[in-house]
Amino acid sequence: MTTLEIKQAVKRYPNGALAVKGVDVTVEEGELVVFVGPSGCGKSTLLRMVAGLESVTEGEIVLDGRLVNDIEPAHRNIAMVFQNYALYPHMTVYKNLAYGLKNRGTPKAEIDTKVREAAKLLQIGDYLERKPSQLSGGQRQRVAMGRAIVRDPAIFLFDEPLSNLDAKLRNQMRLEIKRLQRRLETAAIYVTHDQVEAMTLADRIVVLNNGEIEQIGTPAEVYGAPASTFVASFIGAPPMNLLEAQTGDGAIVIGDTHIQAPVRANGPVTLGIRPERAHLADGSGAAAGPPMQVDTVEELGAVRLIHGSVGGQHFTANQSADEPIPGDHVRLRLQPDDLHLFDHDTGRRL
């Protein structure tokens, strides 16, 4: 069953700026959808439109089969976790969690049960009588999630909830959010600019750029078959290498090297190669790939990144640390399946 449908949503600000340019997204029951994109791409605006914190200029937001465009946030049956936690500073943790329920007229005993359940789930039971100012960043984050959980909403809305935490805590909380969401089986939208968060959390990723959707797909789809050069360079770290190349006569030409590949295109293209799919061969051998000039090697422990240039363009290859460190001149060994071709002008996948 579909929990949320966003149909042709447009957000135009009073000054005429278009933040969201006609976007269609659906969120299925129990699904976690991640909106990812660079800052200013409209991902937060779209989320806030679902929450009711921004008005919808055009289009429809349908939640659980009900059009909610003109419904107050409090009546939408949503729960939101904010970037800065947005806890009520003058209330104890308990009251923070209970506030929404109290305003809905939930009986006191039921509020107490729900608050204690959520507190137990999030391991904040010991802090119920504390004020937010007495809590650490991670604890505040849990309280913010607790406040969302007790509402038992149709959908959770996460607006970059982990960006104020340090790296270690962020990884830990990321995992917890995923577990929690699986356990509660509640649909969720998670907004982030961090592609690692997007990949690890999402059932489906919505990649946004400049107020438009670049691609919607599972993490594997978005990573394996990026729909545009934007997605290719945004998802994956280090990002996909993008090289200017020529096509024609069933071959791709990079500099002086011809690679035989079943290509239909004819003319200039952008060629995408994932760093870990670019295998290195000894430069002296007559391997069938383009030559690469190596300039820097970064050791990351399990792998190493080889930076250099191919045909005068920057190129990064990813190599297992077990392999010997290459010399200054190597050749790339490329499989035709690992080559992504994009339109030279539009950047769309060919």
Partner 1 sequence: MHKAQFQSPIFPYLLLLPQMAIVAIFFLWPSAEAVRSSFFLQDPFFGNETFVGIDNYTDAVTRSDYGRAAWFTFLFTLVVTVFSLGIALLLAVAADNVLRGQGPYKTLLMWVYAIAPPVAGLIGIMLFDQHIGPIVDFVALFGWEMRVGVNYWDSGIAMMIVATWKQIPVNFIFFLSGLQSIPKGVREAASIDNPSPSGRFWTIIFPLLAPTSFFLMIINITYAFFETFGIVDVMLKGEPGNNPVTLVYKVFLDGFRGNDLGGSSAQSVILMVFVLALTIIQFRLIERRVHYT
User: Where on the chain is the footprint of partner 1 (CB under 8 A)?
Assistant: 51-53, 72-76, 78-80, 82-90, 99-100, 103, 131, 133, 147
Task: Tell me the closest approach of the beta carbon of residue 57 to partner 1, in angstroms.
Answer: 17
No. of helices (H) and no. of strands (E), the chain = 8, 20
Nearer to partner 1, 50 or 173 (CB): 50
Residue with tokens 């933040």, as numbered in its chain: 19
Q: For residue 320, give both structure tokens.
A: 């297992």
**Alpha-carbon distance 233 to 246, whole Å?**
20
Nearer to partner 1, 151 or 340 (CB): 151
Task: Tell me the closest approach of the beta carbon of residue 138 to partner 1, in angstroms.
Answer: 17
- 303-310: strand order across its sheet: 279-282, 329-333, 291-299, 303-310, 313-320
Task: Tell me the closest approach of the beta carbon of residue 48 to partner 1, in angstroms.
Answer: 8
Nearer to partner 1, 99 or 333 (CB): 99
Task: Tell me the closest approach of the beta carbon of residue 20 to partner 1, in angstroms.
Answer: 18
Nearer to partner 1, 57 or 83 (CB): 83
Phi, psi angle pair for 234, to nearest 5°? -90, -40
Burial of 20 (0-12, 13-18, 19+ CB in 10 A): buried
Quote the Cα angle for 24-163-191, to 5°.
10
Task: Tell me the closest approach of the beta carbon of residue 183 to partner 1, in angstroms.
Answer: 22
Nearer to partner 1, 13 or 120 (CB): 13
Task: Tell me the closest approach of the beta carbon of residue 69 to partner 1, in angstroms.
Answer: 16
Question: Beta-carbon neighbour count of residue 28 at 10 Å?
Answer: 14
Nearer to partner 1, 15 or 320 (CB): 15
**Alpha-carbon distance 348 to 214, whole Å?**
9
User: Which helix or strand (DSSP H or E) is residue 137 part of?
Assistant: helix 137-150
Amino acid at 258: H
Q: Are strands 32-36 and 58-63 parallel, antiparallel or unpaired?
A: unpaired
Nearer to partner 1, 85 or 234 (CB): 85
Task: Tell me the closest approach of the beta carbon of residue 157 to partner 1, in angstroms.
Answer: 9
Q: For residue 59, give both structure tokens.
A: 């289009």
> What is the distance between the terminal CA atoms of the chain, rounded to a whole angstrom?
33
